[in-house]
Structure 1
């Protein structure tokens, strides 16, 4: 991997830097991060173009073991915790008008959700206890710790089937999908954890139930921040509560937008009642847009991730046969937020994928 790509993954830190700069500049500058993500990055994606290059097998084996790429994700983990603490202190100690509040909260969500959940997703798939701890820590800052359970033991098993709440259906508007995915994934995580405890003959209402911890820990984290700010300011720090849960909702909404984009309308063939064909690179939408892939640790090479979930982000491959998105995630998020435009752009592409799959099976 060239040195440009090696440095490219550090671009993720531009997002929080712009958020801090925008806050201290004040006023409409609090929207600087939003403009950068949803205007400049899509334009740059269009101008710079795609990167379909794949590493050789030997290069992949060597690169997968390089500590540098893991180190970036470790640094991000504790950087994000510090960033959230800083942001909470800023809203507690500064007076913001409504426009500044919205801009700052959304900008912070682009840090914690747009980048942070992406890093948590990467780390949560790994075998290392340290990396899994970092994943949970990141998810705690956005009140979405159940994602660690449901994504790994639910979504990756049932993706592209009716049983998966995080697979968007054909002609399903994002806002309907959001309700099903957010609540369905949460209750699915409880069910999966109950099954795990039952297999181990452990009690459901016990300290071994991870969902109890995952539900309570974000509340404890927020409460500690509020208590600390209240003690220092000598007045109740209610703005921290509003901000913390506001940025959390926006952060996991960004995650659900990405889920919606990645799996829209894709369906695996049912081989027998309740049994589906194995997940392959045809079962996720893919994007090779170079710049947005740097910011998102190559999450947009999602087809390879679902086919080989344990692969590290720096060695994910492009597959020509995977369905391809017309742009990177930032532009597609804007499109998904407007269902009529989304259907107009994506339904013809989905139809082409369906025909390709049908023809492939017919010729086989």
Structure 2
């Protein structure tokens, strides 16, 4: 499953997401340290740039820290970021070699749509939610309150239970097939497909969601 997931991410030029999501986003979700957690009042179009750039930078930093702790060279194939970049470059070069400029541009277009869709989903999943900072200076533990949940059937079917996102963060090791609906978590007023469309209309999105945030 992991190999296939990472291959799919590389096909849209987003291999670094596997690093940042697992070791960065899940640790820092609903804090200012997480570029993939949208703040209240933030337009999705601004969020795209912040999350994409922040995720890329964080992934490089995480790999550098991991390798330095184990005494390995950062500039080597031990670095997951370098491997992902090489794979993605070879992939695009192969498309150009077999299909020419039209195929190359088509692949870039597919990647752009895929990345923006992924980041829009990130946007709606944590919009406006923040963990309380404790006296120790650390955020409170992650709970179901820090992700928007959706139990609408259509989104559940097409997105492999991703819409039960509160449980995904509460118990990150739980398989998607058995993710639970959690009544105590914040509930999106619509399913993911409708929420995605609504987020692209910021004034309407804010009117609906900011009321739920209180």
Question: CA separation in 2, counterparts of 1:257 and 1:273?
Answer: 33
Question: CA separation in 2, counterparts of 1:208 and 1:329?
Answer: 37
Question: CA separation in 2, counterparts of 1:250 and 1:274?
Answer: 38
Question: CA separation in 2, counterparts of 1:263 and 1:273?
Answer: 24
Mapping 1:127-276, distance limit 5 Å: 131-229=1-99, 237-272=100-135, 274-276=137-139
Mapping 1:40-59, distance limit 5 Å: none
Please state which structure has a larger fraction of its residues in helix. Answer: 1
**1:335-355 superposed Cα distances (whole Å, 9 cap, x missing partner):** 10111111011000111xxxx
Question: CA separation in 1, counterparts of 2:135 and 2:75?
Answer: 36
Structure 1 position 273, deviation (Å) = 5.3
Unpaired segments ≥5 residues, structure 1: 1-130, 230-236, 352-364
Question: CA separation in 1, counterparts of 2:211 and 2:44?
Answer: 18
**1:251-288 superposed Cα distances (whole Å, 9 cap, x missing partner):** 01001100000000000010135411110111100000
Mapping 1:112-127, distance limit 5 Å: none
**1:138-167 superposed Cα distances (whole Å, 9 cap, x missing partner):** 111111000000000000000000000000
Q: Equivalent residue of 1:272, what SS?
A: coil
Q: Computing the radius of gyration over CA atoms, which structure comes out larger, 1 or 2? A: 1
Question: CA separation in 1, counterparts of 2:8 and 2:211?
Answer: 37
Query: Alignment partner for residue 179 of structure 2, among 316, 341, 346?
Result: 316
Mapping 1:77-88, distance limit 5 Å: none
Report the aligned-residue RMSD: 1.0
Higher relative contact order (CA 8 A, sep 6+): 1
**1:67-91 superposed Cα distances (whole Å, 9 cap, x missing partner):** xxxxxxxxxxxxxxxxxxxxxxxxx
Structure 1 position 213, deviation (Å) = 1.3
Which stretches of structure 1, 4 residues or more, deviate above 6 A after TM superposition?
Answer: none
